[in-house]
Amino acid sequence: MNAYESVLQRSKEIALYGSAASVLSWDQETYMPAKAGAYRAEQLGQFAGLTHRLATSTEVGDWIKACEDSLPPCADEEESALRAANVREWRRDYDRATKLSSRLVEDLAKTTSLAREAWAKARLESDFSAFEPWLDKILGLVREQAEGWGYSTCAYDALLEGYEPGARAAELAPVFADLQKELTPLLPQLQKITETVDPVRLEGNYSIAEQQKLNALVAQAMGFDFEAGRIDTTTHPFCTEMGPKDCRLTTRYNEKDFTSSLFGVMHEAGHGLYTQGLPPEQFGTPMGTYLSLGIHESQSRLWENQVGRSLAFWQHWYPRVQKQFPNLAGLSLEEFWIIVNRVKATHIRVEADEATYNLHIILRFEMEQRLVSGELAVADLPKAWNTRFEELFQIPVPDDARGCLQDTHWALGLIGYFPTYTLGTLNAAQLFNAALKQVPGLESELQQANYTRLLDWLREKIHRHGRRYSPTELITQATGESTRATYFMDYLNAKYRI
């Protein structure tokens, strides 16, 4: 084998082990017995150490260098471009991976596996003190990661780079600050518009079995391939990829409100459609891997919000839902639409409306930076969280479960991840605006629950490219300009007719 073929084979070997670890992680979140946590942590630690050693061996570095010096010729121009992009991204991954020791990688995998169990218990009991030592340990490990990777301005940038290549805290901060300034005065207007219908009128007895039927039907209509995926139940909804034809969605159920699980499934199915849209023959290589979490989140937010919370969506689906759930008979389409688009401050991020959602992200962005820098001690997190939350939302935090314990991300070591949710929100609005302009008749098709051409457009503009471009380059190619908040604000104003 030549150097390119050698690194390609190693990359796919690593993907095989990584996908096996994904099965273990998915099982831990869905079906694993409670007492199996300690051994599962050992298993995941072993996989993490093994894949890290395979990825950072000196021979991999030699192969990549040989490819950079002289990439084997290829008659096909597209294949040549694909190979060059693979080599570029292999170099990026190799340089980051070799800056971390196998010991650190294994420690982080084991610690976060155990911490996830501790977090779930602490959240259930609303007791931050039970999770505090775990978060303190995780922060120590991610700081060690950041120091290994290196940074020019702050350690947080090194962590952010792993989720959104090229993003920097100093550049995001003013964007988020401006977004907060625009949203804050708008919220009272939106609240007044959407408080005209009492949300209690939506409450009913929605069996989980009936919710599951509806969720599967909507996900299938969106284009999710159930022969290459499935939906399961978990505490915190997520989507994970086990292989090129194995994508798992999860959601949680509220028997008083079917929309909780439905929007959760639409969100995760948006992630799943991106996963299923990546070139399967490239699985295990950069060109078969998602680009960034800001791009990934744009797909989930677009399907959940621009599609799923639109009046056009419910003009088609609501009559069917009313037949399935008879207690909705007395609630008109317009009243239902107002309820599912209600703007009201809430403690729980994943239950937040579109207008207040980004304030939840801004809060976490601020807390993460202070925790990583050491400015904020872990023991002081609940107080700092509660104070800042009340400033942003004008409501007090009643307990830790609805405060700093609500998200699983920190227990999983995913520090630097949260800003990508807002980037995804902005990208979603911008992409949807571009799709409506570039695809004639798309608006009419969406009103008829025909999502084929929207998915085709996303496949063409986003999914098929893998990691060929940077996030900024990809959004610019798809929409004509880099990410801007203007489209999201215009979308909100148009939606609520401000």
> Catalytic residues, which ones?
268
Smallest Cα–Cα separation from 314: which of 298, 300, 328, 297?
Answer: 328
Residue with tokens 């309820």: 339
Q: Using alpha carbons, list the distances in angstroms from residue 186 to 106, 140, 179, 344, 493.
A: 47, 39, 11, 12, 9
Instruction: Give one DSSP letter per residue of 76-132, joined into a string.
Output: -HHHHHHHHHHHHHHHHHHHHHTTS-HHHHHHHHHHHHHHHHHHHHHHHHT-HHHHH
Smallest Cα–Cα separation from 368: which of 408, 412, 418, 402?
Answer: 418
Distance CA 280, CA 242 (A): 12
Report the Cα–Cα distance between both ends of the chain, in Å, rounded.
63
**Helix, strand, coil percentages, rounded to 5, for the chain:** 70, 5, 25
Residues 6+ apart with CB under 8 A from 440: none
Distance CA 328, CA 150 (A): 56
Instruction: Give one DSSP letter per residue of 314-359, joined into a string.
Output: HHHHHHHHHHHSGGGTTS-HHHHHHHHT-----S-GGG--HHHHHH
173, with CB counted inside 10 A (0-12, 13-18, 19+), is: middle
Residue with tokens 């942003």: 392
Q: Which DSSP state fits 416?
A: T
Distance CA 292, CA 48 (A): 21
Q: Which DSSP state fits 480?
A: S
Give me the numbers of helices (H) and strands (E) for the chain, helices first please.
20, 3
The one-letter amino acid at 33: P
Smallest Cα–Cα separation from 8: which of 74, 89, 101?
Answer: 89
